Amino acid sequence: MASTLSKHDINGDWASSAPNLKKNLSLLSSEQIELPKMLLEMGQSHLFEHWPEPGVDDDEKRAFFDQVAKLNASYPGGLASYIRTARELLAESKEGKNPFDGFTPSVPSGEVLTYGDENFVQFEEAGVREGRNAAFVLVAGGLGERLGYNGIKVALPSESTTGTCFLQLYIESILALQDASCRLAEGGCKRQIPLVIMTSDDTHARTMELLESNAYFGMVPTQVTLLKQEKVACLDDNDARLAVDSHNKYRIQTKPHGHGDVHSLLYSSGLLNKWRDAGLRWVLFFQDTNGLLFKAIPAALGVSATKQYHVNSLAVPRKAKEPIGGIARLTHSDGTFICRTMVINVEYNQLDPLLRATGYADGDVNSETGFSHFPGNINQLIIELGHYIEELTKTGGAIKEFVNPKYKDSTKTAFKSSTRLECMMQDYPKTLPSSARVGFTVMDTWLAYAPVKNNPEDAAKVPKGNPYHSATSGEMAIYRANSLILRKAGVKVDDPVNQVFNGQEVEVWSRIVWKPKWALTFSEVRSKVKGSCCISQKSTMVIKGRNIFLEDLSLDGALVIDSVDDAEVIVGDSVQNKGWILESVDYKDASVPEEVRIRGFRINKIEQLEKSFNESGKFCLKP
């Protein structure tokens, strides 16, 4: 029901630039009247050009202002601030301004770890101790459409031997850290590690359904909080005119704002203060389809605790000019004694030109190690909670934005399609003072980084030698990592063979998988391997129980072993059978499930030794 508006509101000069709007002002409530004023002041009169007389489409007109109110409320500073920022950034984009102009890059300080050595083990132990003082934040706002998968990405199986989806893998890893950390606490502890999942309109309901239908994969429901990210308005031109939806003239086109919104959502939710009051110290941010991540997290958290970093970015070695952002220390001087420094991710297409413009004639080059001086950012952050709250209190959680319009031609006067402002989670350090302790932790790529983000057709076009980042390569990376970890622990694991699936040549290692509760750290793996063990390349081994020990095991086939937590099982001697084999499938065969097609293979379970121990006690499995 429309409210009674003043004569000035209905007939005032402020609406004269939009006569069609002026005719319809009586539809607005008193709370809404400021919205059209703001839009006209910000040069958005085009939104009302095609509005008909009152009495026609009135419900749609009201819905328009409901959407404007939502866009206004969900952006720090409101829609007017969004438009002003957009104009500034669009002007800089048209001029070709580099956002890092005036900054001089240098190699930042950080920790470079070698898996399995004494230093790594010490950091892992420190990280496990700190685990009970951490909260985890999963950024999961995307669908799997880019992968050729119509579900939400966190529901995609991380590997085929168990079918464990990414969300289950992450939750079970957090629970394993929780249990291990609490066991180390003096007198024990019962603290639950919180998990926040940032969703979107596309993923929210399906993420909740996935959790509820699987009993939260073992977590207590109150441990998990879903925060839904809102979209932002699209822009039609360099004047930041808001784009009208092509299918509905009463709707503004919207798109995602980027995963940087996670900071403002956490700030506005009140969770950060709640965590601080509960004694938590760390917030760990991670993304949705990296099946290796939790192999690196304990040691990285240990680095943060030991070095007292305010921000710690997980990184991997990167080749010079490789298309992955590099972590760099940037210094800016305004000609006085005051310098501004920040350690930040610099996108690969900005890093090389920046280096060349600041005295590095060859730009981004490899060092004597064979890798760039600037490590590769993998968008996994560990942030110290107290300092984080201090900074977000100043900014409200707002992150430096950017705009990336696709221009029709070199004049940069028109866009191919609408654009919008975006922000990235890893740009948080841009707001920090120079005194902030910002560092990084470099892990081997095989241990820490195998994202699943490309569909088979795009992956097959990747230049030879570059990572595919597909469901195929992501699964093979899990087997590779587990095989190499067991090798480090003294197990003889055969070398891989090369096979081609979906046009991608990959290394196929022994298909070795274990639940996180079996071993979260290298020390745990090493403690559960005894004697002389060997695993053939054709073998599959799945370990699901906590206290399962491999002792003089010779595996040539498939072995699946499970046990309750109170059972202690020794697995040894020779296990030999026909095993499980990988069979190629056609990516275009619609009769095959999507999650199988995008890998290019299925597992044919011909023969296996499968044993479960469902009672407490000590057992020995020696076929």
Distance between CA atoms of 415 and 90, rounded to whole angstroms?
A: 11
The answer as to whether 426 is a domain residue is: yes
Burial of 617 (0-12, 13-18, 19+ CB in 10 A): exposed
The answer as to whether 221 is a domain residue is: yes
The answer for residues whose C-beta is within 8 angstroms of residue 296's C-beta and 6 or more apart is 314, 380, 441, 443, 447, 448
Distance between CA atoms of 147 and 510, rounded to whole angstroms?
A: 25
Q: What is the CA radius of gyration of the chain?
A: 27
> 279 and 146 in one domain?
yes
- The pLDDT assigned to 335 comes to 53
* Helix/strand/coil for 194: coil
The answer as to whether 61 is a domain residue is: yes
Distance between CA atoms of 341 and 364, rounded to whole angstroms?
A: 20
The answer as to whether 82 is a domain residue is: no
Percent of the chain with pLDDT over 90: 76
- The pLDDT assigned to 3 comes to 43
User: Tokens 């980027």 — which residue?
Assistant: 258
Q: Into how many domains does the chain fold?
A: 3
Distance between CA atoms of 478 and 495, rounded to whole angstroms?
A: 15
> 309 and 225 in one domain?
yes
Residue 11 predicted with pLDDT over 60: no
- Give 415's DSSP letter: B
- The pLDDT assigned to 2 comes to 43
> 154 and 294 in one domain?
yes
* Helix/strand/coil for 333: strand
Residue with the larger pLDDT of the pair 9 and 426: 426
- Least confidently predicted of 81-85, 360-364, 550-554: 360-364
Percent of the chain with pLDDT over 70: 97
> 265 and 117 in one domain?
yes
> 588 and 448 in one domain?
no
Nearest to 161 by CA among 286, 296, 291, 289: 291
Q: Model confidence at 13, in pLDDT bands (50, 70, 90)? A: low
What does 437-453 look like in DSSP terms, one character per residue? -EEEEE--HHHH--B--
> 102 and 60 in one domain?
no
Q: Model confidence at 494, in pLDDT bands (50, 70, 90)? A: very high
- The pLDDT assigned to 337 comes to 46
User: Tokens 């359904």 — which residue?
Assistant: 209
Q: Mean of the pLDDT values across residues 171-179?
A: 97
Q: Mean of the pLDDT values across residues 262-287?
A: 96
- The pLDDT assigned to 334 comes to 62
Report the mean per-residue pLDDT for the chain.
Answer: 92
Residue 318 predicted with pLDDT over 80: yes
The answer as to whether 472 is a domain residue is: no
Q: Model confidence at 339, in pLDDT bands (50, 70, 90)? A: low
Task: Name the token pair of 180.
Answer: 């291990």
Residue 375 predicted with pLDDT over 80: yes
Q: Mean of the pLDDT values across residues 353-366?
A: 88
> 493 and 427 in one domain?
no
Provide φ and ψ at 447, rounded to 5°.
-90, -35
**Range with top average pLDDT, 77-81, 208-212, 328-332, 406-410:** 208-212
Q: Model confidence at 285, in pLDDT bands (50, 70, 90)? A: very high
Domain that holds residue 165: 93-453
Residue 336 predicted with pLDDT over 90: no
> 169 and 22 in one domain?
no
The answer to whether 379 and 426 have CB atoms below 8 angstroms apart is yes
